[in-house]
A and B are shown apart, each in its own frame.
Chain A
Amino acid sequence: MAEPSLTGDYLAELSACLPASIVAELADGLEQTHRHYLSQGLGADAAAKAALAEFGEPEVIVAAYTRASPARRGARRLLASGPAVGACWGAALIINRAWAWPVPAGVRVLLGTALITAIALLAAAAFSGHYRPAGRAATAGCIGITALDLTLLTAIPLTSPAVIWPVIVAAAASAVRISFTTRTLRSVLTG
């Protein structure tokens, strides 16, 4: 058994920042490292200290997991692909003279605010140095982007646009993004 106060404190520090499944894997590795040093003739306390030294500082481990987290990767991909999807919708709206559509000003402001908020949340996730906050921001950002895509997909065809093909291209881009966002959300929630 690992020396309880040293390794226990170490794992508690990791548990405060990382999901239980990750900490369980680290705990198993730490236990085996501890056993390795015990088998080399060290006492329990010295073996625990050596195992912790070999593992590295908790903040270094948390930072490495955060860099590899599905939240950060997914948010970066959504931010990178966002301009392409936005350009498709922008072209569809301009070609169809969307500014002349009978959409209340309040709805326009609401959609604009939702878009900016979702982008800000994804940016926060993409550049976060903390695992859990990155996951929360990515989750909220993914839900926001999906809600916006679904709104566009359902609302714009109802306005009977004059030129259909740009709307079809933009709708296809949104559908692909919804699929990717759903997968990202699933991996963030299970990761």
Chain B
Amino acid sequence: MRAEELKGHLDALLLAALEGGPRHGYAVIEALRLSTGGRLDLPTGTIYPALRRLEAAGLITGSWSVVAGRSRREYTLTAAGERTLSGKRTDWRDFAAMVSAALEAKPWPNPA
């Protein structure tokens, strides 16, 4: 799946990747890869700014640690992030059900 197709859904995917517990950027990317069966085709570097954006919105919090002499930033889902994820899940299910119903509907007979 390409970046433009993901517009509007990336935030939900990132929040879902953090639902299982705190993760750093690379672990979030790995979780997304696993959960999408490797079909996610995004420049990895753009995931990090998206995480900062979610942090600024108060949906996740970030904290620094030092691992093997290198600074690492780990992110945790906040209560507001959990509520947002729940809302996005509901919206997605409604949207997917609506589109599936429209795409899989049998064509009406031509009145002519």
Instruction: Give me the interface of A with B, judged by CB distance under 8 Å.
Output: 21-22, 24-29, 31-33, 54-58, 60-61, 64-65, 67-68, 70, 73, 187
Contacts and interface: CB of A to CB of B under 8 A. Distances in A.
Contact of A29 (B44, B52, B56, B67): B44
Contacts, number: 68
B95 to A, nearest CB: 25
Contact of B49 (A27, A33, A58, A61): A61
A29 B25 contact: yes
B97 to A, nearest CB: 32
B72 interface: yes
B67 to A, nearest CB: 8
Interface of B: 24-26, 29, 43-46, 48-50, 52-53, 56, 67, 70-73
B56 A73 contact: yes
B52 A65 contact: yes
B71 A61 contact: no
Nearest to A35: B26
Q: Which 3 A-B pairs have the closest CB atoms?
A: A56-B43, A68-B53, A64-B49
Given A25-B48, A68-B52, A68-B56, A60 B71 contact: no
Contact of A28 (B45, B49, B50, B71): B71
